[in-house]
Amino acid sequence: MAGGEPYVLDVPRASVTFSPASTLATTEFDSASQEWETVIPSSGDAGNAFVTGLGFQVPVDFPGGIKQVTWTCQLSSDAPGIRIQWKWAAAVYTDFSPDPNSLGVKPVDGDGSVYENANEAGTPENFRRFVIGGARGGGGSNFTGGHSGTKAVACPLEPTLAIPLCTDGPLPPSLDRKIGKARLLIARAPGAVGERRVEKLQARIMRRLEGIVRLAHRAQRMGRISPNCARALERMVVEAR
């Protein structure tokens, strides 16, 4: 909302990949999929990473001190139980490019990319000289504007027990009951609301899964399940961490 008028902007989709094969962080815009693609070394230093952004040419001069800004997004991870923290910023430029790949967007804070400087992730390196004060920034060397407060979301654990894990024989009743209870907890995960509730539910699920593995090892030693079954149950917990 600016000057009493609502403005709705479609921010491009994005993916962030942590790769053990990468040595420098990179980000580029895929014009075919209309998606930002950022790759970060798995061993990289902690810091902010660029996710997505866009340029918007304002139709009129916006007043200062705009507070009513709302972001709506969906966040997901292919690794279960990940906690994602995110924030946003905005800066004003007197010149900008409609081609995202010509901006030279810095993928991470610090010198973990081809841009070896102290600028923050999201800096349009090729247009720094055009930054001025406005939006959430004061110009000068503040190329992204001040960050908002940090928001966090915890991605629910995947339905790890959705398929049978042991196919070479029936499970002992006690082990089968524990797996059934874990399935019920996992089924509740998508409906959990609020970061603390999600984290508590995930902790309960992990305790259940670890209890299943302990019981499985005991059952294997007693010859009630096969070694393959015990390994499958243990692998389930490793993948859920």
Give the mean model confidence (pLDDT) for residues 51-62. 91
Q: What is the pLDDT of residue 194?
A: 66
Give the mean model confidence (pLDDT) for residues 101-113. 94
Q: What is the pLDDT of residue 89?
A: 93
Q: What is the pLDDT of residue 229?
A: 84
Q: Which residue has the higher pLDDT, 84 or 125?
A: 125
Sorting pLDDT into bands at 50, 70 and 90, what band is 124?
A: very high
Mean pLDDT rounded to a whole number for the chain: 84
Buried b vs exposed e over 40-74: b needs ≥16 C-beta within 10 Å?
bbeebeeebbbbbbeeeeeeeeeeeeeeeeeeeee
CA neighbor of 204 nearest in space, from 163, 238, 162, 156: 156
Contacts of residue 77, Cβ cutoff 8 Å, sequence gap at least 6 = 84, 155
Q: What is the pLDDT of residue 240?
A: 60
pLDDT in tens, 16-48: 998 888 889 999 999 989 999 999 998 766 689
Instruction: Please say if the pLDDT value at position 227 is more than 70.
Output: yes
pTM of the model: 0.67
Helix (H, G, I), strand (E, B) or coil at 238: helix
Sorting pLDDT into bands at 50, 70 and 90, what band is 81?
A: low
**Measured distance CA(101)–CA(219) in Å, rounded:** 57
Of 175-179, 184-188, 228-232, which range is least confident? Answer: 184-188
